[in-house]
Chains A and B, each alone.
Chain A
Amino acid sequence: MGTKICKENLQQIIKSVPMLSASASRLLQLTSNSDHQLLDVVNLVKTDANLTARVLKIVNSAAFGLINEITSIDRAISYLGERIVISIAIGDCAGKLFEKELSGYEAAGGDLWKHDLRTAIAAREIVVQTELEVSPDLAFTAGLLHDIGKSLISDYLQGTVPEAIELISSQDSLDYLEAEEKIIGVDHTLAGFELAQAWQLPEELAEVILYHHQPGNASEEFRLLVYAVHLGDNIAMLGGFGTGSDSMQYRLDPKYTDYITLSPKTLANVMLTVDMEFEKLEESLNNLGRETT
């Protein structure tokens, strides 16, 4: 039996989790704006000495196998790309949330981060390979953040896995989201949305967090982005990287076809790219969430 979460509890939980640093928060604001330049990102990162050091450390880590050390932050950022810089910035402040063991979903520590990273890569690939009118890097960031609510409610879901699975197989609940709501009163999209408010995330990211399982409910201006993450999420789960008990216990919104044209062959290509990119990125970002020394 899970413990019910009421509105006040949820605010309590949010108060206890890490806040975004000022630079991470400004980075998310900046990069969700479609007419920003990479130079703006560089200038912003330069204002944060810790972040600058982390970016340089990662670009020079063994994962990238560079022969010559990169010492300038400008070069490091143009080499890594915006999405990796954002991953580092988010990971630096909120790594604990992503690395947390989700015992309420029977998922190990790090599973959420892997699922989010794969969703991010897949959402970006969907945008690129189907030529959607969405920023590929924004789709990536949105994918990274979409399930953050799970780490807020997981503790309250402890011991509820068989009950949730049963609710869905008996069709009392439509999907795992409804089961969460039935058992503890709050689902992971709503919990994540509350955190998005506390973190003052840009509206489009907050909508992705709230509607990634019901993309049709997103406001029209952000719907394409939400659909891209919705598909990315499903691709991550099908690829064997869910977060434990809720994997594939959600519904694909077949209306995505009104927005995205995806052939089985393109989907296969996206899945293959996710596997290949994931290996590279996971290695380079593997110290996310660990204390920086």
Chain B
Amino acid sequence: MGQVILGVGDYGASKTPGDEVKTFALGSCVSVILLDPKTRTVGMAHIALPDSSINKVKAAEKPGYFADTAIPALLHEMTKFGCHKKGKGMVVKLCGGANVMDTNDTFQIGKRNALAIKKILWAYGMGAVAEDLGKNFSRTVSISVESGQVMLSSPGRPNWQL
């Protein structure tokens, strides 16, 4: 069984049954999960910040890092697996975007990430069918390519499904 492990700012996809697409310990980062029922492809991006305008060089080098560059990059990646280039028919799930306790507005990075992502998805005519965002714990996410099942885990908590 293969694993596609995505670090911060990475994106990737797989349609190999038996593969697992996985990312570890999302804090304020948000994982965008795209499931394409038609081609049975699973794609994911691990997004750190909402807006690439703060560093164009980084955005060119690692488009998956920023919401506005990650989603086009992931959709493009998924066309290699035969998926629709604008995500038609895809199922969207979102998770991550956590906060520390007693956060103030400035530190609501997770919330800003989620908002930026939703805005961009909206422009593609896409919306999330399921989301597990916010709160104050880290999340590890893994998706089975075979079943499309999205599982989450966090230390000290029972695993849960999204």
Contacts and interface: CB of A to CB of B under 8 A. Distances in A.
Contacts of A175: 101
Contacts, number: 108
B25 A106 contact: no
B147 interface: no
B109 A267 contact: yes
A240 B58 CA distance: 19
Given A240-B25, A248-B138, A161 B106 contact: no
Interface stretch (B26-34, B73-81, B123-131): B26-34
B27 A238 contact: yes
A265 interface: yes
B96 to A, nearest CB: 9
B48 interface: yes
A271 B25 contact: no
Given A237-B100, A247-B138, A271-B48, A242 B58 contact: no
A213 to B, nearest CB: 11
Interface in A145-177: 161-162, 164-165, 175
A245 B100 CA distance: 13
A264 B8 contact: no
A249 interface: yes
Contact of A252 (B27, B103, B157): B103
A131 interface: no
Contacts of A244: 155
A268 B49 contact: yes
Given A175-B101, A234-B100, A275-B8, A242 B25 contact: yes
